[in-house]
Amino acid sequence: MKKILIVSGHPDLNDSFANKTILEEVHKLLPEAEIAYLDKLYPDFQIDVQKEQERLLRADIIVLQYPLFWYTAPSLLHRWIEKTFTHGFSHGKTGDKLKGKQLVLSFTAGAPEEMYSPEGPQQHSIDDFLTPYRQMAHLCQLEWSGYIFSGGLSYASRHDEKELARMKEKSIRHAHLLVEKLKGME
């Protein structure tokens, strides 16, 4: 069985609904997966590089779980990538430690999926915003294994009971799609 590492990049899961629900459901469905909660481990952004690189070395599949903030991952997840994906480890002449590992993105957005199109308010498809992650995978010799994306999960709606029920159902469905994808990669 492949070892799965899920890196939770939400800056404060206590202040989350969708990502928290997704991770709880994934943990129930895939208890053997390692989940690194960056907000709990590094609230001060002081990443333990050696510890995180050891996590990466153990993994066969790396999942980045995060909410879309300004068309990308939150700063905490970016900091984690900046510190752990170092020259000589993940890339460069001797940087082949991630070679052949699979990378999956799992992310949410407050805006509905249909807003991410050339004709929509975002003026781009969601794929357009993922170019840096595909390039990172290429540079680090990771196998790009796609993504699971769910929009319409706005934290602002958490006080509306009907919307909350809809978002919970959608978040659970997201978790099931992610687990199905991961199990299909084994």
Instruction: Name the stretches of the chain with pLDDT < 50.
Output: none
Termini Cα distance of the chain: 7
User: Could you count the other beta carbons within 10 Å of the beta carbon of residue 157?
Assistant: 15
3-state SS class at 124? coil
Q: What is the pLDDT of residue 155?
A: 74
pTM, rounded to two decimals: 0.96
Backbone CA torsion sign across 90, 86, 54, 3: negative
- List pLDDT tens digits, range 103-146: 999 999 999 999 999 999 999 999 999 999 999 999 999 999 99
CA distances from 50 to 30, 54, 70, 121 (A): 26, 6, 29, 42
Report the pLDDT value the prediction gives residue 154, as an integer from 0 to 100. Answer: 85
- C-alpha–C-alpha distance, residues 127 and 179, integer Å: 21
Q: Tell me what pLDDT residue 163 has.
A: 87
Residue that is written with structure tokens 């969708």 in the block: 18
Give the model's pLDDT for residue 156: 72
